[in-house]
Amino acid sequence: MYNLSKNIFPFSELGKRLNKYINSGFPDLFEEAIQMSVSNNPWFPRENIIYSLKAIASSLSKDNLEKWLSPYSDKALSTASKKVAVIMAGNIPLVG
Q: In angstroms, rounded to a whole number, what is the distance separating the alpha carbons of residues 32 and 5?
A: 33
Q: Does 4 have pLDDT greater than 50?
A: yes
On whether residue 96 sits in a domain, the answer given is no
Number of structural domains in the chain: 1
On whether residue 78 sits in a domain, the answer given is no
Q: What is the mean pLDDT of residues 3-21?
A: 90
On whether residue 63 sits in a domain, the answer given is yes
Q: Does 63 have pLDDT greater than 70?
A: yes
For residue 7, which of 46, 62, 57 has the smallest C-alpha distance? 62
User: How much is the pTM?
Assistant: 0.72
How confident is the prediction for the chain on average, in pLDDT? 85
On whether residue 52 sits in a domain, the answer given is yes
Higher pLDDT, 23 or 75: 23
Structural domain harbouring 40: 5-72
Q: In angstroms, rounded to a whole number, what is the distance separating the alpha carbons of residues 61 and 11?
A: 8
Residue 59 near residue 15, CB atoms below 8 Å = yes
Q: How confident is the model at residue 77 (pLDDT cuts 50, 70, 90)?
A: low
Q: Which amino acid is at 33?
A: A
Q: In angstroms, rounded to a whole number, what is the distance separating the alpha carbons of residues 89 and 96?
A: 7
On whether residue 87 sits in a domain, the answer given is no
On whether residue 23 sits in a domain, the answer given is yes
Residue 15 near residue 56, CB atoms below 8 Å = yes
Q: How confident is the model at residue 1 (pLDDT cuts 50, 70, 90)?
A: very low
